[in-house]
Amino acid sequence: DIVMTQTPSSQAVSAGEKVTMSCKSSQSLLYSENKKNYLAWYQQKPGQSPKLLISWASTRESGVPDRFIGSGSGTDFTLTISSVQAEDLAVYYCEQYYDTPYTFGAGTKLELK
């Protein structure tokens, strides 16, 4: 199974701050035939279902603000929020869909400083 490791587990932030969080996979998520990384990022707010933010490691979903930036390739990935807003306080999960079993990281919780 592919293990997804997210760091940090929690982070205290102030509005307007730039935030980065990491997701590392135990094996490469880069598929050689199409050069795509099979990695997605989700945002989950309390009491809500997860929301897809980014697919293919860096493709932002329609309607997702451009302050959310996904980057990385192979086994190392990053989600950056360029200027955190109050509504961004949530738990963020990465997920690999390279192979079954699909696996999620344990999440990074953004909290208010």
Partner 1 sequence: EVQLVESGGGLVQPGRSLKLSCLASGFTFSNYGMNWIRQAPGKGLEWVASISSSSSYIYYADTVKGRFTISRDNAKNTLYLQMTSLRSEDTALYYCARRNNNYGFAYWGQGTLVTVSS
- Asked if 111 interacts with partner 1 (CB under 8 A), we say no
* Nearest approach, Cβ of residue 90 and partner 1 (Å): 13
Which residues are within 8 A (CB) of 81 and not within 5 positions of it... i.e. 6 or more apart?
18, 19, 20, 67, 68, 69, 88, 110
Comparing CB distances to partner 1, the nearer of 3 and 15 is 3
In angstroms, rounded to a whole number, what is the distance separating the alpha carbons of residues 87 and 19?
14
Query: How many Å separate Cα 93 from the centre of its chain?
Result: 5
Locus of tokens 């738990």: 91
- Asked if 20 interacts with partner 1 (CB under 8 A), we say no
Task: Tell which one of 49, 66, 86, 113 touches partner 1 (CB under 8 A).
Answer: 49
Using CB under 8 A, list all residues that contact partner 1. 1, 38, 40, 42, 44, 49-52, 54-56, 59, 61, 91, 93, 95, 97, 100-107
